[in-house]
């Protein structure tokens, strides 16, 4: 039985991942800003789910996580699934600030804590749900792509640190393409995965301790293309 905390489990991918692990009999601590949505999940698995309603960006978020760890009796896996992304065609300051607060500052505070917790414990796994948008800049939502790039690059650094530490601590950077959630706001949607399928593939990658994975798997092709496509072509496509 694993003890798992999912940051951002009130809806979408995080909520479905919580369901999968709860069905396996694991103990899950779910967090989110919307109390009513967290409460609506607990009756499905009353013996397996603990809750803590808080915003990942608040300074005392770590205190909430520490309380959940005590309630669960430890921690084996933390998944950062909180995220925010809105179109910012006019470079709206409020949108950009909220995006960075959640996708960078909140992420960094919690992931930094969890990484050090697992290193001190000598085992564990840390996961972020970043995005295929991390691969290149995006004029549709510049702060979103930049924030997700921060997450992926930070996790690459953690992966390198762990190689040197030689501890059974693992990190997994999950880069989804389009998934059928409220986050999928682009007008150019294709290969849209049902949230259940995306969550199953994510859990499979976590269990295999992959350090980076594309969801669904076909998005590895897009990741490769985005890396190597010349600027002159990419800029015309946007």
Catalytic residues: 144
Nearest to 185 by CA among 136, 144, 213, 128: 144
Q: Half-sphere exposure of residue 154, counting CA atoms within 13 Å on the CB side?
A: 22
H helices, E strands: number in the chain: 9, 7
3-class secondary-structure state, position 110:
helix
Q: Report the run of H or E that residue 50 belongs to, with start and end.
A: strand 49-53
Helix (H) or strand (E) holding 5: strand 3-7
SS3 79: strand
């Amino acid at each position: 039985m694993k003890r798992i905390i999912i940051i951002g489990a009130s809806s979408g991918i995080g909520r479905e991942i919580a369901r999968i692990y709860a069905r396996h009999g694991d103990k899950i601590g779910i967090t989110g800003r919307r109390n009513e949505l967290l409460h609506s999940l607990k009756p499905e698995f009353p013996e397996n789910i603990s809750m803590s309603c808080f915003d990942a960006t608040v300074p005392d978020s770590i205190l909430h996580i520490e309380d959940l760890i005590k309630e669960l009796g430890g921690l084996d896996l933390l998944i950062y699934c909180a995220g925010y992304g809105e179109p910012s065609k006019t470079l709206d300051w409020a949108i950009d600030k909220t995006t960075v607060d959640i996708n960078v500052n909140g992420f960094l505070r919690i992931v930094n804590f969890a990484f050090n917790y697992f290193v001190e414990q000598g085992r564990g796994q840390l996961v972020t749900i970043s995005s295929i948008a991390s691969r290149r800049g995006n004029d549709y939502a510049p702060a979103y792509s930049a924030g997700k790039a921060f997450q992926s690059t930070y996790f690459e650094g953690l992966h390198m640190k762990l190689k040197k530490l030689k501890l059974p601590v693992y990190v997994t950077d999950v880069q989804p393409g389009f998934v059928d959630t409220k986050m999928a706001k682009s007008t150019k949607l294709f290969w849209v995965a049902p949230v259940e399928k995306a969550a199953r593939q994510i859990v499979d990658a976590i269990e295999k301790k992959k350090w980076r994975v594309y969801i669904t798997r076909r998005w590895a092709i897009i990741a490769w293309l985005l890396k190597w496509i010349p600027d002159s072509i990419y800029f015309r496509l946007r």
